[in-house]
Amino acid sequence: MATYKQLIAEKEALEAQLVEVRANEVAGVVEKIRTLMAEYELTVDDITPKRRRGRPAGDGGGKVAGKAKLTLPPKYLDPKTGKTWSGRGRAPAWLGKNPKRFLIAE
């Protein structure tokens, strides 16, 4: 029966052999891929998957390219500060519990 040290030595030898064999196989696979790409005139963009899930890629600012942001007319006015609110999104604190008193007449 083999000792612990002998088994560890065998394991290290096998791991070294695995690394070497994998490196050789990967080199062959990469060469095959390059040959096929040249033969069919493919680029990296041709073989990478297209983005299909999630939000569309934009400028990173959270805005979708090509869409203009629609501004709404204000519905509420704070007479003290002159601040307005369109009625969308989180209500401002100055609106209080009775927003009807701040409505702008149409």
Domain edges within the chain: 1-62, 71-106
∠96-99-105 over CA atoms, to 5°? 145
∠20-22-28 over CA atoms, to 5°? 110
pLDDT at 17 over 70: yes
Band of the pLDDT at 71, cuts 50, 70, 90? confident
User: What is the reported pTM?
Assistant: 0.40
What's the CA gap between 81 and 83, in Å, rounded?
5
pLDDT at 2 over 90: no
φ, ψ dihedrals at 103, nearest 5°: -60, 140
Mean pLDDT for the chain?
86
Query: Residue 98 has what pLDDT?
Result: 85
Query: Residue 104 has what pLDDT?
Result: 87
